[in-house]
Structure 1
Amino acid sequence: MSLISSLGVGSNLDLSGLLDKLAAAESQPLVALQKQQVSYTAKLSAYGTLQNALSTFQAAAKKLADASLFQGAKAVSSATDVLSATASATGAVGNYAIDVTRLAQAQSLAATGVADAKAAVGLGSVTIDFGTISGGTLDPVTGHYSGAAFSPDASRTAQVIVVDSSNNSLEGLRDAINKNTTLGVTASIINDGGASPYRLVLNSPTGETSSLRMAVTGDASLQSLLSHDPSAVQSLQQTTAAANAALTVNGIAVTSSTNTVQDAVQGVTMTLAKTGTSTLTVSRDSASVETAVNAFVSAYNALQSTAAQLTKYDQEKKAGAALVGDSTLRTVQSGIRAALNTPQAGDLKVLSQVGVTFQKDGTIAFDAAKLKTALADDREAVVELFAGTGGNTGYGTQVAALVDAFIGTTGAISNAKAGVNATLKSLDTRYAATEVSVEAKVARYRAQFTQLDLLMSRMNSTTSYLTAQFDAMNASK
């Protein structure tokens, strides 16, 4: 059997073009299914966009549902170079006269210099504990006390530094002390430029109960370098004494072991920077409330803008966005608007009383000045309006719960997305089955055209043969 290398060659007909047209006609159901898939995929994406906008709006509503937002306080120092301050929700509102007369200090001790920071200093152990130095006299030249007493701080446990072959040098001691994070002492080496320039310097935590006592056992060289007891042998030189911060708050004396002073003013943390005076003003923080309400308004307006884009109709293209006429979106919009227009049970009933008003275009506007006035007049009423009190729920709580009913696992949008996904899965199944059917039909057409081509080729060959025979017979006469 002769073979046809290209469809239509044997018959001299455009069978290949005809087959393409038949294949295109048979594929029309696939084109229709593809259009449906594109439409439902766009709808699924649109629901995702709507869900994201609702999540943002819900987060803003939850912020307003938290009563602690409205109880925040702020602390302002009139002299920030003297002190700065922060206030918690329990901050006591008022003005406070602060006089800082002394900053908290860490004790600083310096060892005798050695010629080589890497040379051995002796083996043994060093027991370091903290306490208070009282009485006696400090020699400003030697940095040694005479007649002083040392009272250990019972609340802290002494720490032992073992000096062995791994750290038997000034550098090794420095590193061993710094590695002991429980101790809280920092060690460094200073080069004073002398004949034996390398001096180990120890700095304790701040506060008068953080003076150091160091008991050394082992080699005499190690003992002579580090043994230090303010009431006895003192090998180290005190260059700075440990001290508490001292200040007055409205004339009342206050001390602190650190320069971070907590609750000298209720709910306020002060950070001292230098000695001097400052007026500390503690007031309720309305700025954070204003920011939260503004975020709520912005999130609502962004939700409205998203909804408008998802339901937009293009007159020129005669085509609508993915959610034109969508009932789920209409339910979401009407539900939220109804919730925001429902009066509350407290002294403040509606959002317009705190400066939040609906506009003709469906958005809401925010008048911050009106909110500030409401907060100044009756802060608790504003709290009840947004967060609720007692058995009442406010707008923040209600809106957050409503949105959860839309975007939760069993919510309207989740159900709508599940329905679209089910439809897309069904379309995939139908497309695959239709594609197999179309391919089978085209294959049959191809086989039939091939047979036709072969038949026509044979007939043409026969015609040519017979014509040649007749011509030969006529020529022989």
Structure 2
Amino acid sequence: MASIAALGIGSGLDLNGLLNQLEASERQRLQPITQQQRSFEARISAYGKLQSALTKFQDATSALNLSTTYKATKSAVNSDALTVAAASNTPPGTYNVDVTGLARAYTIATQGVADSAAQLGAGAGNISFTLANGTSHSIDLADGSTSLEDVRNAINNGQSDVQASIINDGSGTPYRLVLNSATTGTEASITNITYGGALAGNLASDAATETLAENAELAVNGIAITSQTNVVEDAIQGVTLSLAKPGQAQVSITRDAEAITGQVEEFVTAYNELQTLVTKMTDYDVGSDTPGQLLGDSGVRTIQSRMSALMGETVTGQFSMLSDIGISRELGGQLKIDENKLAAVVQNDLPKLQEFLAGSDTVQGFAEKAKTTLTNLLADDGPIQSRLKGFESTIERLDERYFREEQRIASTVDIYRKQFAQMDSMIASMNSTSAYLTQQFSSLNAQLNKS
């Protein structure tokens, strides 16, 4: 059988070009399938965005269902004697703090040596120390590794309760080993230091350099408190005090109305973003004559219906509807906040707000009702997943149809190719016969003319 490249050689016709045109024409049958595939892929993408928006709204709603949301507090201090960090649900209150002393770490230095790299004695060495809390450490040094630098490195590598360093005091024997407790307070203080082996007699503590450890001392509302560190936790419930210097300060823990209002605003923003997305996906752009990706989609209609019903839910209590806390629905379906009304509710009626949104032992709050609605919408058997599964199944069938259609097109083109090859061969044979006859007639005419 003649190949595509050989088509037209016998006839002189552009059979390859004609075959390509016929194949292109046949492949037009694939365009409707491709368009349907893209349409369903676009719907899957749209539903993915819709699912993401619903999940974001679910997260914002879930925050309103937590009791801790309504216990949010903020802290302030009026002095640089300390800084304060409070947990978000710390009980409100005002506390007078008087810092009378800061915690400090124990430190002591050794007598000086002339060369920090020189061995301090023959043979192996040892240094041991005990802390006030009863912890003991013994550091061994091998023969030939007893210089002041070796001692420093061995201490730092061998444990973490005591830190060693070397200072140079500029004297004739300037190098001193300095030992510091790694943490402040009397419990971390070094109570005993012993130098043994090659270090005995060659390294000794200098009592004049000893700085005793001290605990932080403060009073909170007149109650005396001591702390091993300058970071004092839970002297005030849920509050961490970081002491900076002696002095007096007033620590205020107040209800964080802005944080509570912000959670309600996040709920409204997430809902409005969801509504904007749904509107865009189900709208028809007259200017560009373009329908939304989910225009007329039954799953979206279900979501719209349930969300609309949710926004109209009532709660048994002093606040029964969203409008009671300053949230109203506009004509286009968006939510709008009356900031002054919401701020007044947070400031003056926080328990009622919490009961309306988060509920109580006897009242199902709005957020709990929203949780039920959103959980059902996002469930595996909900409208979103059902539609996605249907779209994916349709795309699979379109893929199969596309494959079968391509096979039919290939078969049709192959038939065309064979027919063209036969025609090309037949025309080539006819051209050959024609040329032979023409030659014979020319020869016959020439003989007749001679006679």
- The normalised TM-score by structure 1 is 0.85
Shift of 1:303: 1.6
Matches within 5 A, 1:20-169: 20-79=20-79, 81-89=80-88, 91-121=90-120, 123-131=124-132, 153=133, 156-165=134-143, 168-169=146-147
Post-superposition shift, 1:342?
Answer: 0.4
Once residues 89 and 126 of structure 1 are traced to their aligned partners in structure 2, the CA distance between those partners, rounded to angstroms, is: 48
In 2, Cα distance between the equivalents of 1:31 and 1:415? 27
Residue range with higher mean Cα deviation, 362-371 or 431-440: 362-371
Contact residue 111 and residue 237 of structure 1 kept, 8 A: no
Whichever residue aligns with residue 168 of structure 1, its letter is T
Deviation readout 1:343-380 (Å, 9 max, x if unpaired): 12233222233333222232222344433322222322
For 1:315-464, list aligned pairs within 5 A.
315-464=286-435
Tell me what 2:200 maps to: 222
Partner of 2:251, secondary structure, is strand
Contact 1:4 1:453 in 2 (8 A): no
Residues in 2 aligned to 1:223 and 1:361: alpha-carbon distance in whole angstroms: 91
Measure how far apart 1:458 and its partner are: 2.4
Which SS does the other structure have where 2:328 is aligned? Answer: strand
The reply to whether residue 206 of structure 1 matches residue 184 of structure 2 is yes
Provide the rounded CA distance (Å) in 2 between the counterparts of 1:259 and 1:393: 46
Question: Relative to 1, partners in 2 of residues 1:364 and 1:175: Cα closer, same or farther, differing over 3 Å?
Answer: farther
CA-CA distance at 1:14 after TM superposition: 5.5
Q: In terms of mean alpha carbon deviation, does 453-462 or 417-426 score higher? A: 453-462
8 Å Cα contact 2:314-2:366 kept in structure 1: no
| 8 Å contact kept, 2:2–2:421 | no
Task: Indicate the RMSD between aligned Cα atoms, in angstroms.
Answer: 2.7
**Equivalent-residue separation in structure 1 for 2:95 and 2:23 (angstroms):** 89
- Report the count of equivalent residues: 445
Residues 216 and 223 of structure 1 are in contact (CA less than 8 Å); yes or no, is this contact kept in structure 2? Answer: no
Aligned equivalents of 1:367 and 1:225: distance in 2? 76
* Contact 1:128–1:213 (8 Å) recurs in 2: yes
1:196 maps to amino acid: T
CA 1:91–1:12 in 2, change beyond 3 Å: closer, same or farther?
closer
SS in 1 for 2:166: strand
CA distance in 1, matches of 2:296, 2:159: 66
Partner of 1:307: 278
Match status 1:177 vs 2:131: no
Contact 1:191 1:198 in 2 (8 A): yes
Identify the residue that residue 232 of structure 1 maps to in structure 2.
none
CA gap of 1:169–1:70, structure 2 versus 1, over 3 A, is farther
Q: From the superposition, tell whether residues 439 and 70 of structure 1 become closer, same or farther in structure 2 (CA, over 3 Å).
A: same
Q: 1:253 to 1:327 in 2, by over 3 A?
A: same
Per the normalisation by structure 2, the TM-score is: 0.89
Specify every segment of 5 or more residues in structure 1 that has no aligned partner in the other structure, as ranges: 132-152, 228-234
Task: Name which of structure 1's ranges 385-394 and 295-304 shifts more when overlaid on structure 2.
Answer: 385-394
Deviation at 1:112, TM superposition (A): 1.2
Instruction: Name the CA distance, whole Å, in 2 between partners of 1:166 and 1:344.
Output: 82
Partner of 2:437: 466
Q: Distance in 1 between matches of 2:143 and 2:376?
A: 69
Q: Deviations over 1:388-438 (max 9, x none)?
A: 222544333333443232233333212211111111111111111110111
Segment drifting more, 464-473 vs 166-175:
464-473
**Secondary structure, counterpart of 1:324 in structure 2:** coil
Deviation at 1:75, TM superposition (A): 1.8
* 1:83 partner amino acid: L
- 1:11 to partner: Cα distance: 4.4
Q: Deviation string for 1:206-238 (max 9, x for gaps)?
A: 1233321224262374366346xxxxxxx4444
Q: What fraction of aligned residue pairs are identical, expressed as a percent?
A: 39
The secondary structure found in structure 1 opposite 2:218 is strand
Deviations 1:239-274 (A, max 9, x none): 432111112222222221211122222222111111
2:234 matches 1:256: no
Whole-Å separation in 2 of the counterparts to 1:82 and 1:2: 97
Q: Of the candidates 257, 269, 283, which is equivalent to residue 298 of structure 1?
A: 269
Comparing 88-97 with 46-55, greater Cα deviation is found at 88-97
Q: Does 1:191 align with 2:173?
A: no
Q: What is the alpha-carbon distance in structure 2 between the residues aligned to residue 367 and residue 166 of structure 1? A: 80
Q: CA deviation at 1:83?
A: 1.0
Q: 1:189 to 1:400 in 2, by over 3 A?
A: farther
Deviation at 1:443, TM superposition (A): 0.9
d(CA) in 2 for partners of 1:360 and 1:309?
16
